[in-house]
Structure 1
Amino acid sequence: MYPITIFRSGAPAMEFSQYDVNKLMYITNRPPIVFVEGDGMWLTDNNGKRYLDYLQGWAVNCLGHSPQCIHDALVSQSKKLINPSPAFYNEPSIELAKLLTDNSCFDRVFFANSGAEANEGAFKLARKWGKINKNAAGENRYEIITFDHSFHGRTIAAMSASGKAGWDTIFAPQVPGFSKAILNDIASVEKLITDKTVAVMLEPVQGEGGVIPATREFMQALRALTKKHNILLIVDEVQTGMGRCGTLFAYQLSGIEPDIMTLGKGIGGGVPLAALLAKEEIAVFEAGDQGGTYNGNPVMTAVGSAVAKTLLAPGFLQSVQEKGDYLSKELIKLSDKHGLAGERGEGLLRALKLGRDIGPQIVEIARDLAPVGLLLNSPRPDLLRFMPSLNVTKEELDQMLSMLSNVLDKIGR
């Protein structure tokens, strides 16, 4: 393989002697690293360098890289049945649906492949329900209130629902029917409700927006407001679900029951799997309304069951809460030591507020540390987001904190 150089508008020039990376479509700026192996909290690149990974696929690898339970599920199920088509039932999807409904307030599950696809299903289900439950004038209800700084995926409708700055123009025109309220401001929600409103949708913690939690009081007030107006409450738990916040689902922290929930990322522990859940009276899809070539794929849902059973094992979620509390306290100490602006989050989804726009600089320096690198994420230039595996050890938390402190020493104030 000859060395190649990428020259592309908006893309950096990169050379790899052993990889023809130019065959991949340019969608983001990637460092000149090719990862070849992962184990728990650790990744190894093509040159043998190891990295302590606090991205974990953006909160995807809830049990770390290549956990044994996922390996066993993939091998076992792939020997038995891979894809009978979603026109038929299969055992793993039935098992996972029962695990999810038995441990939540929901009654029905539709399996998908990505969080964006699950959210698309939620939009469709809400609009279908609004077509059946019309307003006083006999008109369909279809408008969904979402929130500034929210992130619901990269399909056209999911981007339209998102409150990410600039997304209203990239692929304009947007899908109509999404208005934006302010998180933790119940009055901002109430003033957007019209006779066409069918639902309010939010992330219990805005991940991409900067790890901003909805308060318990706001979640409870939102549930009361939606019931008052007979509109649906949808929680997008693509990032917060499956133990990430210390309970199996983040809505449980507020003691409420939503009408619809979406899951992704952690539900598959690294494989492409997502889910749309709804209460019985909301599950109004008819034959042909929803589908997908791979929905409920037995190999993926077998992995999902293995992940769910691990999370539901005695003591596991308690350990997530304890490690989340520990990380929070240690980040506060780190913030005080380096004159930063504090921390926030829930469970093992946390952010360090930097007080100035040094996040990308920290990410680059940490990644290039030798002999061991540190992988961090800066969704906004003034903060870092931490998404370790849920079975991260205290020693790995301490190692990250020490490495990060050294990086901050290098940068200075």
Structure 2
Amino acid sequence: MSSNVDRETFDQIMVPNYAPQKMIPVKGLGSRVWDQKGNEFIDFAGGIAVNALGHCHPELTAALHHQADQLWHLSNVWTNEPALQLAQALCDKTFAEKVYFANSGAEANEAAFKLARKYAYDNFSADKHEIISCNNSFHGRTLFTVSVGGQPKYREGFEPVPAGISHVPFNDIDALEQQITDNTCAVVIEPIQGEGGITPATTKYLQAARNLCSEHNALLIFDEIQTGVGRTGKLYAYQHSQVTPDILTTAKALGGGFPIAAMLSTEKVATSFNVGSHGSTYGGNPLGCAVALKLLQIVDTPEVLEGVFHKHHQITQQIAQFNQKTELFKDIRGQGLLIGCELSEQFQGKARLFLELAQQTGLMVLVAGLNVIRLTPSLIIPENDIKEGLARFNHTMHLFNQQA
């Protein structure tokens, strides 16, 4: 495996907003990845919760190849069969009555926030435009979504940002109750904060948010970009709590690696996106919708979803056992195959070092901030890959303990 480009090429020609690792993956199959030099890695990163069925799943590649021979793109001057079939499936499997397609999680959230304001404008007044989000939340990198996100570091240097947005502590019912008013158009919550450190919302908090939104005629938006499509052991995380939002956003795993996103909504709310009020050139393109439909059919089965629960316990219990010797982590948390291992106090700020050392052992992991190691492997990662990956994770823990 050779190429005329390498990691140095990135520094020469790419905008420096990323700092990728030195090795460049060139091939993936299932939960294994190979780099330019032929080195093999076990993938516990999953493209940040995107590769729900691993790399090059044969049924997904077949769906893509089939659609590629039929129809690639039309624009939204016309609709297409794969988009209609996928939208119908999403409505059948969730609370949703209407679907809007986009290309990324940020675009789906942008649509959700715009729809919330438009709905309030149409049904109440222009004063009802305020959006409440949570500290440490993450909703995307557009100017609107980064403003709703609760991490100031992502807004720095881009001010002035859109007004009418406030933030409250996550899982703090009293704070939300004090902040929400009749001028609130929406409350936005991640059922599990992903970039914020893999922190789950309590059912009590979600129920309180639902009640407060209903009381103040505000919409409840669940950002399920990272938790959706089987990641937590349910098709969508809201199904664990039985707390139903008015709007839900989904992306990442929806296409299994092919860029696609969706905003799901009740019919009552969706009506405010009248003709011409919002749009996307590529949103709902036949290629992405064909792949996503096949992925939904595979993931939304007892075999896959129950397997996520089993894999969660296997991975977290084994890491907890490793941790008894090293005491690297002060908490191991999450749901399904969205797992966060928070570093102990003496190792705070060194999550990136763990990621780099893991790569040396042949393992791909992620971080969630400076202090949390994030694991988001394929939902169908084979047993042998779990065992071998955990052995490499244990090796990484010992290396980290020596070098941190």
Identity across the alignment (%): 37
Match of 2:182 in 1: 195
Encode CA deviations 1:309-368: one digit per residue, 9 max, x unaligned: 001234221111221122222222222232131201011001112212232221111112
What's the offset of the Cα at 1:139?
A: 4.3
- Give the aligned partner of residue 390 of structure 1: 379
Residue in 1 aligned with 2:248? Answer: 261
1:161 aligned to 2:148? yes
Please tell me the residue identity of whatever aligns with 2:245.
Answer: P
Task: Indicate if the aligned counterparts of 1:4 and 1:22 stay in contact, CA closer than 8 A.
Answer: no
Pick closer, same or farther for the CA change 1:92–1:184 going to 2, 3 Å: same
Question: Aligned Cα RMSD in Å?
Answer: 1.8
User: Is the alpha carbon distance of 1:3 and 1:38 closer, same or farther for their aligned partners in structure 2, counting shifts above 3 Å?
Assistant: closer
Matches within 5 A, 1:21-100: 22-100=12-90
Measure how far apart 1:382 and its partner are: 2.0
Equivalent residue runs for 1:315-330 within 5 Å: 315-330=303-318
Q: Structure 1 residues 75 and 223 mapped into 2: Cα distance closer, same or farther (>3 Å)?
A: same
SS of residue in 2 equivalent to 1:326: helix
- Residues 4 and 68 (structure 1 numbering): CA distance in 2 closer, same or farther, change over 3 Å? closer
Supply the distance in 2 between the matched residues of 1:232 and 1:274 (Cα, whole angstroms): 20
Deviation, structure 1 residue 21: 5.9
Normalised TM-score (structure 2): 0.94
Task: State how 1:173-252 maps to structure 2 within 5 Å.
Answer: 173-252=160-239
1:386 Cα deviation after fit: 0.3
For the residues of structure 1 that align with 2:67 and 2:159, how far apart are their CA atoms? 43
1:113-152 Cα offsets, whole Å, 9 max, x none, are 0000000000111001100221xxx544111100000000
The one-letter code sitting in structure 1 at the alignment partner of 2:358 is A
- Of 260, 285, 297 in structure 1, the residue corresponding to residue 285 of structure 2 is 297
Q: Secondary structure of 1:199's partner?
A: strand
Q: Is residue 189–residue 223 contact of structure 2 (8 Å, CA) maintained in 1?
A: yes
* Deviation for aligned residue 1:4: 9.1
The answer for the alignment partner of 2:336 in structure 1 is 347
Q: In structure 2, the residue corresponding to 1:88 is in which secondary structure? A: coil
2:393 is equivalent to residue 404 of structure 1: yes
Distance, in Å, in 1 between the alignment partners of 2:118 and 2:81 is 29
1:276 aligns with 2:266: no
The whole-number CA distance in structure 2 between the counterparts of 1:84 and 1:2 is 35
Q: 1 CA distance for matches of 2:157 and 2:31?
A: 35
**Is the Cα–Cα contact under 8 Å of residues 85 and 294 in structure 1 kept in the other structure?**
yes
CA distance in 2, matches of 1:262, 1:293: 18
2:345 is the counterpart of 1:366: no
Question: Which residue type is aligned with residue 169 of structure 1?
Answer: E
1: CA distance, partners of 2:400 / 2:314: 25
Are the equivalent residues in 2 in contact too, given 1:259–1:279 (CA < 8 A)? yes
Distance 1:330 1:20, change over 3 A: closer
Q: Does the Cα contact within 8 Å between 1:331 and 1:342 map onto a contact in 2?
A: no
**Once the two structures are superposed, what CA deviation does each residue of 1:43-94 show, in whole Å capped at 9, x if it has no partner?**
1111111111111111111000111111111110011111122111211001
Bigger shift: 251-260 or 355-364? 355-364
Q: Distance in 2 between matches of 1:197 and 1:166?
A: 25
**1:108 paired to 2:98:** yes
Could you say if the C-alpha distance between residues 389 and 190 of structure 1 is closer, same or farther in structure 2, counting changes exceeding 3 Å? same
The SS at the match of 1:36 is strand
Structure 1 portions without partners, runs of 5+ = 6-13
Deviation per CA, 1:225-271, whole angstroms, max 9, x where unpaired?
11111211000000000000100000111011110000010001001
Compare 36-45 and 360-369 and name the one that shifted more. 360-369
Partner residue of 1:125? Answer: 115
Shift of 1:307: 0.5
How much has 1:2 moved relative to structure 2?
12
CA distance in 1, matches of 2:299, 2:76: 27
Distance of 1:20 and 1:308 partners within structure 2: 35
Counterpart Cα distance in 1 of 2:176 and 2:76: 38
Can you list the C-alpha shifts for 1:389-410, whole angstroms capped at 9, x where unaligned? 1001232222222112112222
Amino acid paired to 1:408? M
Closer/same/farther in 2, CA of residues 362 and 139 from structure 1, 3 Å limit: closer
8 Å contact kept, 1:335–1:342: no
